Amino acid sequence: MLEISNLRAGYGAINVLWDVSLSISQGKLTTIIGPNGAGKTTLLRAIMGLLPASQGEVRLNGQSLNGTPTWKMADVSMTMIPEGRMTFRDMSVEENLIVGAFAKQHRARLKDNLDMSYQMFPRLRERRTQLAGSLSGGEAQMLAMARGLMSDPKLLIIDEPSLGLAPVVVNELFEILTRLKEEGRTIILVEQNTHRAVGVADHVYLMQSGKVVLSQPAAEVSLDHLHDLYFAR
């Protein structure tokens, strides 16, 4: 579905990604893990057009995405749920969800997708008239995920969903990820909780210093070996 070939990208004169190549299979959950500074978020930004590629190519279903502006990614059914939630704090929960279906082609299914979001995240239904800024960290993460699903994307990119959350909320979020995977959605998950990430994934990539140092089916991953590479032991 998504092919990334020999990708280089960075910030100004500072290059972060070095010839990164990945393959994301349709209907599978692919997790990308690695320590801080490994280039994971930079990779997601390059995929979404937030950073230009200085070399290499990103292709979705055989079509190049290089040079496609970020606001056009909804047209190819790609959505990113960013690290840090980034909800609109002065808007209500429901208004935040409606923003997720702003693109014209998604507006016809607005009510159906709102109902789907409230079924998947019942707490958001209870909070639908509250300002997003009044939510707890876990509720804000649920809102960010539900907002991303409002466009019913074929490819869902999720950056560090468990960051800073209590274990009980992390359990709830990973149950949602499992459900989305069982629905056949294609998911790219960036996550530092290696046990949970490998446990839910179909394929695992490990990044170090802007490079892919491991690519393996999740069922074959040895966590001891993974952690040795993760911590450069």
Q: Is residue 86 part of a domain?
A: no
Q: What string of DSSP letters covers 139-154?
A: HHHHHHHHHHHTT--S
Q: What CA–CA distance (Å, rounded) separates 170 from 221? A: 22
Q: Per-residue pLDDT averaged across 73-86, rounded?
A: 89
Range of the domain at 70: 1-77+186-233
**Residue 192: predicted pLDDT:** 85
Say if residue 146's pLDDT is above 70. Answer: yes
For residue 64, give the CATH number of its domain: 3.40.50.300
Number of folded domains that form the chain:
1
Instruction: Give the whole-angstrom CA distance, residue 170 versus residue 9.
Output: 31
* Inside any domain, residue 201: yes
> Locate tokens 């046990």: which residue?
195
Global pTM reads 0.92
Q: What is the pLDDT of residue 119?
A: 94
Q: What is the DSSP string of 177-205?
A: HHHHHHTT-EEEEE-S-HHHHHHH-SEEE
Closest CA to 215 of 225, 228, 206, 224: 206
Tell whether 170 is covered by a domain: no
Residue 23 within a domain: yes
State pLDDT tens for residues 178-196.
Answer: 999 999 999 999 998 999 9
Q: What is the pLDDT of residue 202?
A: 96
* Closest by Cα among 53, 105, 55, 57 to 79: 105
Assess contact for 206 and 199: CB atoms under 8 A: no
The predicted-structure confidence for 185-226, as pLDDT tens digits, reads as follows 999 999 989 999 999 999 999 999 999 999 999 999 999 999
Nearest-10 Cα torsion for 143, 149, 150, 152:
180
Q: What is the pLDDT of residue 233?
A: 66
Give φ, ψ of 198 to 5 degrees: -65, -35
